[in-house]
């Protein structure tokens, strides 16, 4: 006889199997209403966000039975239910764990079947209908309403009061259920079972954390008889406004634009006199009022027309340059849940840093983002929730993009996105998805979008024939390839007709300049090309935001990445790529991007007589900006004031004379800066916010080692050290051991840097193949373990000369370094010459740097330098750094990249490190790089997370003569040739360097 427990297990197993079968169905959602635009009605809406009861199960077989029943007691402690806020991503609250993959699926590629190890979250909510809302005030015992979910990851099954409503499929898409006849005035029980994986996981393989849950709003929307169901707005602009509105409602409808005194009827087209066009630079919105005797709907609309002519994207007839970013939705503590105030902060920050375009990678965003993009002014590429990248590991076999079983579901996804978002003027393009291979379902999605809305461009990157797209899109194309496209000399594709079609399309980089860790390098080259060639319409940086998850390591807070949460399959630190941290703090790359994205070019005349301003905006003049000038030297302003600059059309330039007092303040080392700032408060920044700047610097003769005046005092009379001016040296090694009263160790040659994420990347060749990993090459050459043999250390006339032979363990390649020290009695000069030739063996590839390292007392932690700052600058970065005099402490010089790596190098002609008393050591020379750290390069190299970096009580100073660029090889082109440091190509200037040390 079977026991009751065995019978229950059998029921559980059978139920789990049935649910698995539903989860393996590639069909779209079940029981949902047709999609429509998002709008707010005077009838109101009831938020069901808040505290729900929740139960987590590791798989379907272990999920509780009967949770959909009204009388299920989720308050019984034995039920295992706990409180959970909705919206939420349940792994962020201790239920299961986050898992990160980029391309690979974390389960077998057995489409459409999800894995049996499939965590389940059961959500339950008891609620009453809010009868204070106008739409429910007269509802009586049978409230009419629809139940809306804006985001459920991955697959939901929904019950209300024991009645099964249907399913959700499409995590970042809205789902609505008609609950009229099921909804009660009071004591309603809403149940949502969410499975982490389903068939749709195969089409939602985006580069991000797997984070299941009800992560967007849940809303109850009243729908009494006659309620407005949908509003479709078309607001074109061609020298004037043209408006057409369609309304789905059960009562007669009136349409008006109160600000423009326009009244019309649905289904008619009316010319709108006096309408101003919408653009990101002037996002003029008007209030459209759609009303019946029952309700009133207000929509902000903007008049604009998107078109293509001569391979250019046009807005209102004017060429567009997309200065864009890719934006994922992520929060370090909440996962996919983004508080509304944070969304606004993000977009304000983008505007402040000169970003004008957003690609919603790789799914439709929360509705709020589009509302704010309309208001603040952005071009938005709205991307469908589709990515099947993991099928690349199966040679794209059974890819849903080309599987007829998926056609209806994928087309439904596209129709839902377009229906939801087509009233937003910010949306200039629909994207069918990302990295989904090729196949018949993609053009079918495009056709469905065009049927619903033919006013926007269709984008997809993965099909390079571009036969059904309106733009030719590539990701991570090199500057060389971009130039070929701009010139029309890129290689032809196989089909001549398709190739001719593609060559007529605008070119867009949907992803470029991968911003991971220290980087991206080479931004200037891209923007110069975009501005030089009409066919190059700009692109979207990858990406806006790092996806770190806040965690503790050794009791210290830091950000975690793939593998930190026990997931067996993961892609490590690749999730940490962004222009801002997970907390939305700008990285150095964002500051550089602001400079190269600036909509104005400000150039100061060499003689300080005037300034030239080029308007690089798309549509607006210069009236929104005010201009200021200042002359600074040694950290103090010598002169300054406002500057009158005339207006000029986009693409043109204007010159303005600087006042005579600017040139009068001229002196060696002085810096003239001209700023363009906002003339008045805007919706995203206050008056005075800087948009662009230009500088001119008065040169200072570079410090050079002086001829010897002070004699070299041998070691015998000085207690075992060699003295030369303020310096003391070890007679055996030739190392400097003290400078005045300060103990010093070094300088020693360094050719190594703690590899950046880009140094650890393979880079992309033009044919799509991967290149070598530079950091691996450096390790194979032993650059991280140089060994020095002293050939000589002795007086040579008035100099102390040291010759070293430098090699690496296990290798037979060498270089030689000659250090020649001289002193005038007050300063200590160093002239260095590096010898690298074939007789000493072959050094392959690149070197990360040519520099020297010194160790200084830890109390010398106050830093002052003259040069470029206040931030870091590498050969192919640092565009945002301006000339001046800057101060920091050593801690403030560090950039806390999530995975520690080379960072914080500044450019200087002089740097001083002092204690609190102002005494210390200064170094000067022809422009050089310096980095001062509270830990060694070895510690920085070994660290995996920021808490691994523990100060050792010293200051580690690196002085760089040359550095290799940083590039974007983590995903994209490596270091461009002009920024490479190759030992086989060193010039005499590369091999020789000098510094002057003094006590301050």
Of the chain, the end-to-end C-alpha distance in Å amounts to: 93
Task: Give the Cα separation of 881 and 890 in Å (integer).
Answer: 18
Looking at residue 6, its pLDDT comes to 40
For residue 812, the model assigns a pLDDT of: 87
pLDDT at res. 10: 58
Which of 259, 253, 225 is CA-nearest to residue 241?
Answer: 259
Pair type for strands 155-160 and 427-431: unpaired
Q: pLDDT value at position 750?
A: 98
pLDDT of 4 reads 37
pLDDT at 8: 44
Please tell me the predicted confidence (pLDDT) of residue 770. Answer: 79
Q: What is the DSSP string of 232-273?
A: EEEEEESSSEEEEEEEE-SS--EEEEGGGTEEE-TT-EEEET
Counting Cα atoms < 13 Å in the Cβ hemisphere of 120 gives: 24
Domains of the chain, with CATH numbers? Answer: 4-222 (2.60.120.260), 231-306 (2.60.40.10), 317-594 (3.20.20.80), 599-697 (2.60.40.10), 712-999 (2.70.98.10)
In the block, residue with structure tokens 């293509």: 308
Beta strands 357-359 and 322-326: pairing type? parallel
**Residues 237 and 304 sit within 8 Å (Cβ to Cβ):** yes
**Hey, which residues are catalytic here?**
435, 511
3-class DSSP state for residue 524? helix
**pLDDT of amino acid 7:** 41
**What φ, ψ does residue 12 adopt, rounded to 5°?**
-60, -45
Among residues 282, 285, 278, 288, the alpha carbon closest in space to that of 316 is found at 278
Q: Which residues in the chain show pLDDT less than 70?
A: 1-18, 20-21, 707-709, 715-719, 765-768
Q: pLDDT digit string (tens) for 711-756?
A: 777 766 556 899 999 999 999 999 999 999 999 999 999 999 999 9
pLDDT score at 844: 86
DSSP class per residue in 949-978: ----SEEEEEEEEEE----STTSS--S-GG
Q: What is the pLDDT of residue 768?
A: 65
pLDDT at residue number 491 = 93
Residue 719 pLDDT: 62
Residue 782, token pair as written in the block: 């032993």
pLDDT digits (tens, 9 = 90+) for 602-637: 999 999 999 999 999 999 999 999 999 999 999 899
Burial class (CB in 10 A: 0-12, 13-18, 19+), 246: middle
Which pLDDT score, from 0 to 100, does residue 11 have? 61
User: Which residue, 354, 871, 281, is CA-closest to 596?
Assistant: 354
Residue 801 neighbours by CB under 8 Å, 6+ apart: 792, 793, 794, 795, 818, 819, 820, 821
Q: What is the pLDDT of residue 716?
A: 62
């Amino acid at each position: 006889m079977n026991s009751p427990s065995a019978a229950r297990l059998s029921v559980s197993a059978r139920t789990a199997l049935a649910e698995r079968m539903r989860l393996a169905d590639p069909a779209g959602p079940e029981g949902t209403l047709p999609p429509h635009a998002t709008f707010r009605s005077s009838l109101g809406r009831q938020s069901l966000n808040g505290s729900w009861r929740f139960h987590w199960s590791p798989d379907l077989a272990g999920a509780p039975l009967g949770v959909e029943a009204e009388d299920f007691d989720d308050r019984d402690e034995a039920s295992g239910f706990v409180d959970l806020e909705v919206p939420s991503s349940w792994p962020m609250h201790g239920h299961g764990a986050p898992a990160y993959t980029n391309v690979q699926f974390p389960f077998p590629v057995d489409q459409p079947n999800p894995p049996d190890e499939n965590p389940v979250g059961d959500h339950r909510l008891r609620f009453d209908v809010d009868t204070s809302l106008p739409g429910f005030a007269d509802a009586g015992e049978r409230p009419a309403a629809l139940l809306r979910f804006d985001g459920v990851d991955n697959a939901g099954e929904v019950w209300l009061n024991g009645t099964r409503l249907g399913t959700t499929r499409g995590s970042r898409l809205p789902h609505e259920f008609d609950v009229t006849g099921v909804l009660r005035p009071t004591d309603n029980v809403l149940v949502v079972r969410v499975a982490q994986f389903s068939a749709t996981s195969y089409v939602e393989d985006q580069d991000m954390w797997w984070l299941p849950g009800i992560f967007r709003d849940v809303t109850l929307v009243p729908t009494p008889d006659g309620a407005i169901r949908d509003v479709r707005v078309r607001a074109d602009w061609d020298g004037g406004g043209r408006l057409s509105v369609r309304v789905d409602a059960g009562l007669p409808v009136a349409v008006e634009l109160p600000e423009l005194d326009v009244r019309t009827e649905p289904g008619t087209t009316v010319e709108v006199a006096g309408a101003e066009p919408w653009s990101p630079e002037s996002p003029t919105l008007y209030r459209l009022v759609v009303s019946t005797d029952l309700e009133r709907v207000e929509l902000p609309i903007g008049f604009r027309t998107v078109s293509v002519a001569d391979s250019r994207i046009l807005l209102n007839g004017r060429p567009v340059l997309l200065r864009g970013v890719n934006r994922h939705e992520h929060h370090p503590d909440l996962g996919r849940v983004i508080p509304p105030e944070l969304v606004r902060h993000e977009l304000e920050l983008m505007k402040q840093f000169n970003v004008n375009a957003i690609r919603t990678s790789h799914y439709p965003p929360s509705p709020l983002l589009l509302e704010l993009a309309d208001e603040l002014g952005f071009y938005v590429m709205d991307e469908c929730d589709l990515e099947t990248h993991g099928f690349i590991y199966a040679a794209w076999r059974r890819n849903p993009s080309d599987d007829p079983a998926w056609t209806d579901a994928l087309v439904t996804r596209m129709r839902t996105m377009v229906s939801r978002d087509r009233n937003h003027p910010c949306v200039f393009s629909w994207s069918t998805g990302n990295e989904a291979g090729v196949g018949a379902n993609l053009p079918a999605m495009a056709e469905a979008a065009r049927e619903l809305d033919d006013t926007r461009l269709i984008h997809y990157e993965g099909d390079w024939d571009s036969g059904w797209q309106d733009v030719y899109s590539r990701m991570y194309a090199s500057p060389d390839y971009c130039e070929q496209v701009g010139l029309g000399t890129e290689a032809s594709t196989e089909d001549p007709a398709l190739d001719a079609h593609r060559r007529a399309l605008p070119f867009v980089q949907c992803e470029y300049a991968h911003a991971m860790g220290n980087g991206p390098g080479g931004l200037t080259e891209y923007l110069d090309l975009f501005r030089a060639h009409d066919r190059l319409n700009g692109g979207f940086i990858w990406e806006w935001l790092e996806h770190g998850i806040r965690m503790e390591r050794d009791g210290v807070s830091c950000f975690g990445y793939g593998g930190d949460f026990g997931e067996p399959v993961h892609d490590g630190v690749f999730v940490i790529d962004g222009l801002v941290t997970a907390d939305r703090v700008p990285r150095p790359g964002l500051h550089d991007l602001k400079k190269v994205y600036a909509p104005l070019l400000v150039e100061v005349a060499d003689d300080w007589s005037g300034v030239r301003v080029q308007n690089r905006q798309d549509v607006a003049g210069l009236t929104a900006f005010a201009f200021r000038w200042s002359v600074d030297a040694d950290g103090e302003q010598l002169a300054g004031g406002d500057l009158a600059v005339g207006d000029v059309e986009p693409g043109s330039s204007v010159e303005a004379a600087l006042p005579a007092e600017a040139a009068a303040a001229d002196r060696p080392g002085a810096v003239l800066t001209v700023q363009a700032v906002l003339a008045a408060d805007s919706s995203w920044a206050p008056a005075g916010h800087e948009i662009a700047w230009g500088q001119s610097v008065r040169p200072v003769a570079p410090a050079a080692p002086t001829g010897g005046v002070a004699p070299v005092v041998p070691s015998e009379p000085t207690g075992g050290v060699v003295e030369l001016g303020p310096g003391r040296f070890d007679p055996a090694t030739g190392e400097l051991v003290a400078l005045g009263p300060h103990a010093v160790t070094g300088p020693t040659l360094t050719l190594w840097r703690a590899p950046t994420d880009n140094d650890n990347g393979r880079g992309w060749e033009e044919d799509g193949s991967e290149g070598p990993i530079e950091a691996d090459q450096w390790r194979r050459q032993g650059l991280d373990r140089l060994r020095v043999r002293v050939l000589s250390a002795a007086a040579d006339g008035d100099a102390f000369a040291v010759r070293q032979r430098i090699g690496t363990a296990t290798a037979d390649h060498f270089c030689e370094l000659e250090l020649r020290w001289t002193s005038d009695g007050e300063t200590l000069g160093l002239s260095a010459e590096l010898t690298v030739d074939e007789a000493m063996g072959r050094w392959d590839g690149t070197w990360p740097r040519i520099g020297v390292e010194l160790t200084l007392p830890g109390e010398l932690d106050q830093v002052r330098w003259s040069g470029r700052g206040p931030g870091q600058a590498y050969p192919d970065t640092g565009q945002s750094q301006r000339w001046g005099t800057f101060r920091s402490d050593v801690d403030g010089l560090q950039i806390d990249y999530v995975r520690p790596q080379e960072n914080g190098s500044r450019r200087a002609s002089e740097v001083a490190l002092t204690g609190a008393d102002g005494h210390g050591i200064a170094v000067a020379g022809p422009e050089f790089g310096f980095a001062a750290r509270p830990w060694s390069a070895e510690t920085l190299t070994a660290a995996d997370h920021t808490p691994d970096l523990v100060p050792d009580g010293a200051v580690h100073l690196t002085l760089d003569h040359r550095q290799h660029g940083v590039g974007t090889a983590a995903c994209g082109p490596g270091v461009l040739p002009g920024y490479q440091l190759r030992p086989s190509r060193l010039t005499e200037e590369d091999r020789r360097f000098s510094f002057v040390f003094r006590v301050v």
